[in-house]
Amino acid sequence: MNQVEWRTSLRLVGTVLKWLWVPFLLPLGIALYDGTAVTPFVLPMAGVVVAGEGLERLTTDTTFREREAFLMVAVIWLGVAVVGAVPFVVAGAGTLADPVNALFESMSGITTTGATVIIDFDAHSRAILMWRAVLQWLGGLGILVLATAVLSQLGVGGGNLMETESQTRDVTKLTPKISETAGLIWRLYLGLTGLQVTVLYGLHLGGFAPKMTLFDAVAHAFTTISTSGFSPRAASIAAFSPAVQWVIIPFMVIGATNFILIYFVSQGHFERLRDSEEFRFYLAILAFFTIAVAGILFLDGGPHTEPESVVRHSLFQVVSIVTTTGYASTDFNFWSSGAKHLLFVCMFVGGMAGSTTCSIKALRWLVVLKAFRRDLFVASNPRVVRPVRLSGSVVDEQTIRDIYAYALVSLLFFIGATIFVAVDASRGQLTVSEFEAMGAAAATFFNVGPAFGIAGPFESYEPFSRSTKLLMTFLMWIGRIEIIPVLVLLTPSFWRT
Amino acid sequence: MNQVEWRTSLRLVGTVLKWLWVPFLLPLGIALYDGTAVTPFVLPMAGVVVAGEGLERLTTDTTFREREAFLMVAVIWLGVAVVGAVPFVVAGAGTLADPVNALFESMSGITTTGATVIIDFDAHSRAILMWRAVLQWLGGLGILVLATAVLSQLGVGGGNLMETESQTRDVTKLTPKISETAGLIWRLYLGLTGLQVTVLYGLHLGGFAPKMTLFDAVAHAFTTISTSGFSPRAASIAAFSPAVQWVIIPFMVIGATNFILIYFVSQGHFERLRDSEEFRFYLAILAFFTIAVAGILFLDGGPHTEPESVVRHSLFQVVSIVTTTGYASTDFNFWSSGAKHLLFVCMFVGGMAGSTTCSIKALRWLVVLKAFRRDLFVASNPRVVRPVRLSGSVVDEQTIRDIYAYALVSLLFFIGATIFVAVDASRGQLTVSEFEAMGAAAATFFNVGPAFGIAGPFESYEPFSRSTKLLMTFLMWIGRIEIIPVLVLLTPSFWRT
Ligand SMILES: [K+]
Ligand SMILES: [K+]
């Protein structure tokens, strides 16, 4: 074992950074069209090219093992977050002018979290609001490539299971090179984004969505397929008609569906949907929580009165939170304690592995459920050997152990973060209830976005203390890249021989 | 595989029940001496003899496998809780006259939890108050026998690890029969109880503890060694002098120390303390949390002003909660949010395996820490095989997986219970903050006893709704016998062939 070749990692980070000037073109174009400031975009465009080229020249070494991959993943997300914050600081408008806020917003963007520190949406140019959406779209694409090409190879938190269950292995046969897999996913991602823009703007042109301008259609398509949830509107999806809300629901579901599975379905292999235990489990989760929330809202007799609106808001919010999108079709702060707690539980679930979804993910919970049921069986029948099966294949015991550990460590992080937020708030002047602290900790760590009360869907994370906001920035970072790549960096042995 | 021989399980429950008339003798004697009602004790004494003899005649079958053991364990704790509630209902005094309250109090007794639904301590006879202490003392003895003789054999939540680490295997060599191990532990338990009675009453006779009567000395010795925490005083240990508080601390520490280890130390093998990684970890936990709490209280500048009282209360409360005793030397409800949250974290820890302590236990956390550190190492060095070692021996991977699963399932139960308590309270008229719900859920599930706010050390669980109190009774039951024996009963396969 040799030392980690950090130069190799940084060289690859450089290759990513170097091309980061391209996505700045969209907000730059809007700024030129609107006649608003262009420096917030031109400056970082120049910066990333220089920095990227510089990092690429660090080394010619091509050693690339697990350690270099972990370091690269951690640094890319952190680096892009820093670059993404530059336009906010340079534009200098509203709460985003503060560097801590800007970094929070940018990290919330690239990690597809969707928690915002904006208070006054009107203070910001359309170009800046579009930059937030672009960051999330990039973050979604980045995680897809990461999940299918890198994390599954590294076996993070049972990631090798994704190899079989998510059918990554099948696609690896189709496209033996990582670059080909990435290309396939990238075209699918682009296609789905285009489809949603068309549908949303079509609704507008058809008169079903008066407020859904082309700008809004693009921004929302960017932040739906990436299950990320930034909206240029302060009222999120509640700003739009019920038709828009109904249309966004299936796109959120698709964003949190395994993209390899979507690819096969797009090729006409519908039987893959039925064959995937994870997909059936994911749909069952959505159905279960929607029925439970709708049942509670009906029994509560409020705040929604029409049956259609109870069903729509229940389905929308459950899908929004399980997929970790974080859009709001209504201010669920006004829902009863039971309904809010159900949404809180949804934060821990997440959609399918191999998608843009965040959180612990349905695949891991399915393995936990099956393995624990097996463990109970073996406890009373210790002489029986019973493997855990998923979609017909045996899940190996080391994968099960890794998944138990991943879920456990996630919960411990969540508990620790909750305590930090609650205690830090109590030391300041901010009134944050324990439930609000729990919600805000889960919403940032699991990259959901909005939570409850002070961190509610129409509120802002701005009032939290700077230390809390920095903690949350850290939580969004490690939550998005599945914890392990960051924790590995924190072990001394990583840096030694 | 044949069906579970439930008659065999019940026959053994009968054997335990049959002898349950003996511990009633102490409160009966006090009732006779004080001239208070004796029916609350005579009635169940007759009842257990009849029921026990009856159950023993159910079968002559002696098949005794894992399934029969799980069923027996679950039914014994539940059965004794029901029997233990009879005196409270028959006495009919105060809040304990209500059957739900009586069952809660009795379950809290036999599970060594120490959460009380008493509001007016003066409403109850000394005999009834002593019965609460006797229940806890029995519960502590029961769990010791269960932990060393049964659970470790069943491998519950990594229980087979206890075989090696807790040196149960060594003692099995000394005493090949379960009855001999039980006898050894029983004498040690009795000896330590006697020692504490002597010390406490000695303090009284020496003038250092004016209120520590012989009655109090016996009741508190019963509930210290069993790390259970019922006090006949409404103010718990705050009712006594600092000298008493200092003396109780080491006895709580001993109560949560592995009894096999204590046995070897009592035989002069002090090197065993040094050789046990778990013991060193347990002491390190106590030191860490004490220093952290004391540091916060010093910085807060209140509510304690004297350095001695800051140190004493910090140490007392940390020891009380980590060992899951649950005594209070002060009303820590008045502590700051940071200090209270630290105590909250202590609830999840627990003392050493093979003691009377509850909660997840230091042994499991030590394995989680070591295994997760190993997992991180292997993530960046996948070609290196590195086993997890404890006190020099390799921990097998299946044990690690079971321990991960146990900790995970414990946290999930805790989260589920918190939500139940919070939502159930919001539906009633009771104001329960989320932190209070979290505390009450953890304090009952992990058998600590008191928590925060409405469930604080000088408060009562009585105001909670009946549904919440029944849930908590269930939580105390499954928490005490380490979850698995109850969950196993809930799987259909347990009852089938
Ligand atoms: K999100
Ligand atoms: K206790």
d(CA A452, CA A433): 10
The contacts of residue A235 (CB under 8 Å, 6+ apart) are A328, A458
- pLDDT tens digits, B271-311: 989 988 999 999 999 999 999 999 999 998 878 888 999 99
Query: Quick one: what percent of chain B has pLDDT higher than 90?
Result: 72
List, in sequence order, every residue forming a beta bridge with B395; answer none if it has no partner. Answer: B388
The contacts of residue A486 (CB under 8 Å, 6+ apart) are A74, A477, A478
Pair B44, B87: CB distance under 8 Å: yes
Q: Ligand 1 centre and the CA of A335: distance in Å?
A: 21
- pLDDT tens digits, A101-114: 999 999 999 999 99
Pair B422, B432: CB distance under 8 Å: yes
- Of the candidates B354, B345, B336, the one whose C-alpha atom is nearest the C-alpha of residue B288 is B345
Q: Ligand 1 centre and the CA of A136: distance in Å?
A: 9
**Mean pLDDT along residues B54-59:** 90
Q: Ligand 2 centre and the CA of B138: distance in Å?
A: 13
Domain membership of residue A277 (yes or no) is: no
pLDDT confidence band for B78 (50 / 70 / 90):
very high
Question: With 70 as the cut, is the pLDDT of residue A162 above it?
Answer: no
Q: pLDDT at position B222, please?
A: 97
In eight-state DSSP terms, residue A237 is: G
List, in sequence order, every residue forming a beta bridge with B390; answer none if it has no partner. Answer: B393
Sign of CA dihedral A163, A167, A170, A174: negative
Question: With 70 as the cut, is the pLDDT of residue B211 above it?
Answer: yes
Higher-pLDDT residue of A238, A393: A238
**Mean pLDDT along residues A128-138:** 97
Strands A393-395 and B393-395: unpaired
Q: Considering only A128-142, B9-23, B380-394, which range has the smallest mean pLDDT? A: B380-394
A379 vs B contacts (CB less than 8 Å): 66, 70, 154-156, 484, 488
d(CA B117, CA B120): 9
pLDDT confidence band for A152 (50 / 70 / 90):
low
pLDDT confidence band for A153 (50 / 70 / 90):
low
Contact assignment for B412 to A411 by CB distance below 8 Å: yes
Q: pLDDT at position B447, please?
A: 96
**H, E, C per residue of A94-145:** HHHHCHHHHHHHHHHHHCCCCCCCCCCHHHCCHHHHHHHHHHHHHHHHHHHH
Q: pLDDT at position A289, please?
A: 97
d(CA A413, CA A408): 9
Pair A388, A371: CB distance under 8 Å: yes
Domain membership of residue A285 (yes or no) is: no
Q: How many CB pairs under 8 A join A and B?
A: 134
Give how many domains chain B has, as a whole number: 1
pLDDT confidence band for B354 (50 / 70 / 90):
confident
Domain membership of residue B472 (yes or no) is: yes
Tell me the C-alpha to C-alpha distance, in Å, between residue B225 and each of B197, B212, B244, B270.
11, 17, 15, 21
Question: With 60 as the cut, is the pLDDT of residue A466 above it?
Answer: yes
Helix H or strand E encompassing A388:
strand A388-390
For residue B2, the tally of other CB atoms under 10 A from its CB is 8
Query: Quick one: what percent of chain A has pLDDT higher than 90?
Result: 72
Domain membership of residue A274 (yes or no) is: no
Pair A76, A142: CB distance under 8 Å: yes
Question: With 90 as the cut, is the pLDDT of residue A174 above it?
Answer: no
List, in sequence order, every residue forming a beta bridge with B330; answer none if it has no partner. Answer: none
The contacts of residue B352 (CB under 8 Å, 6+ apart) are B166, B256, B257, B258, B261, B278, B279, B282, B361, B362, B363
Mutate to test the interface with A, among B2, B63, B380 (most CBs of A within 10 A): B380
- pLDDT tens digits, A276-311: 899 999 999 999 999 999 999 999 887 888 899 999
d(CA A405, CA A157): 7
Q: pLDDT at position B125, please?
A: 95
Q: pLDDT at position B429, please?
A: 79
B338 vs A contacts (CB less than 8 Å): 423, 426-427
Q: pLDDT at position B102, please?
A: 97
**Mean pLDDT along residues B231-257:** 95
Angle between helices A178-205 and A126-145 (to 10 degrees): 140
Question: With 80 as the cut, is the pLDDT of residue B169 above it?
Answer: no
Q: pLDDT at position A450, please?
A: 93
Strands B393-395 and A388-390: unpaired
- Of the candidates A264, A194, A186, the one whose C-alpha atom is nearest the C-alpha of residue A222 is A194
Q: pLDDT at position A474, please?
A: 97
**Mean pLDDT along residues B396-410:** 93
Alpha helices in A175-276 (DSSP H): 178-205, 214-225, 242-255, 259-266, 271-275
Domain membership of residue A450 (yes or no) is: yes
**Mean pLDDT along residues B199-219:** 95
Question: Is B161 exposed, middle or buried (CB count within 10 Å of its CB: 0-12, 13-18, 19+)?
Answer: buried
d(CA A149, CA A144): 8
Domain membership of residue B414 (yes or no) is: yes
Domain membership of residue B444 (yes or no) is: yes
**Mean pLDDT along residues A147-151:** 69
In eight-state DSSP terms, residue A256 is: T
Q: Ligand 1 centre and the CA of B303: distance in Å?
A: 42
pLDDT confidence band for B183 (50 / 70 / 90):
confident
Higher-pLDDT residue of A292, B149: A292
A155 vs B contacts (CB less than 8 Å): 379, 382
**Mean pLDDT along residues A16-24:** 94
The contacts of residue A388 (CB under 8 Å, 6+ apart) are A367, A370, A371, A374, A394, A395, A400
Match 């086993």 to its residue by tokens: B387
- List the Cα angle B143/B148/B153 in 5-degree steps: 115
Buried b (16+ CB within 10 A) or exposed e, A106-126: bbbbbbbbbbbbbbeeeebbb
Question: With 70 as the cut, is the pLDDT of residue A151 above it?
Answer: no
d(CA A144, CA A135): 14
- pLDDT tens digits, A66-92: 888 889 999 999 999 999 999 999 999
- Of the candidates B79, B202, B194, B75, the one whose C-alpha atom is nearest the C-alpha of residue B135 is B79
Q: Tell me the average pLDDT of chain A.
A: 90
Locate B25 and state its tokens: 């003798």
Considering only CB atoms, B337 lies closest to which of A338, A380, A426, namely A426
**Mean pLDDT along residues A249-255:** 97
Strands B388-390 and B393-395: antiparallel
**Mean pLDDT along residues B218-235:** 95
Contact assignment for A419 to B493 by CB distance below 8 Å: no
Nearest residue in chain A measured CA to CA from B490: A376
Q: CB-side exposure of B428: number of CA atoms within 13 Å?
A: 14
- Of the candidates A18, A39, A14, the one whose C-alpha atom is nearest the C-alpha of residue A90 is A39
Contact assignment for B494 to A380 by CB distance below 8 Å: yes
B493 vs A contacts (CB less than 8 Å): 377, 380-381
**Mean pLDDT along residues B139-155:** 77
Q: pLDDT at position A20, please?
A: 94
Q: pLDDT at position A264, please?
A: 86
Domain membership of residue A427 (yes or no) is: yes
pLDDT confidence band for B161 (50 / 70 / 90):
low
d(CA A466, CA A438): 18
- List the Cα angle A479/A96/A256 in 5-degree steps: 35
pLDDT confidence band for B162 (50 / 70 / 90):
low
- List the Cα angle B190/B196/B200 in 5-degree steps: 150
**B26 Cα distance to chain centroid:** 22
- pLDDT tens digits, A31-48: 999 999 999 999 999 999
Locate B171 and state its tokens: 């003692």
Locate A137 and state its tokens: 């779209």
Q: pLDDT at position A142, please?
A: 92
Complex confidence, ipTM: 0.93
A488 vs B contacts (CB less than 8 Å): 376, 379-380
Residue B463: domain span: 364-485
Contact assignment for A66 to B371 by CB distance below 8 Å: no
Residue type, B314: S
B397 vs A contacts (CB less than 8 Å): 397-398, 401
Q: pLDDT at position A158, please?
A: 64
Contact assignment for B382 to A155 by CB distance below 8 Å: yes
Sign of CA dihedral A215, A217, A223, A226: negative
In eight-state DSSP terms, residue A236 is: G
Question: With 70 as the cut, is the pLDDT of residue A2 above it?
Answer: no
Which range, A2-11, B123-132, B349-358, has the best average confidence (pLDDT)?
B123-132
Q: Tell me the average pLDDT of chain B.
A: 90
Helix H or strand E encompassing A165:
helix A159-165
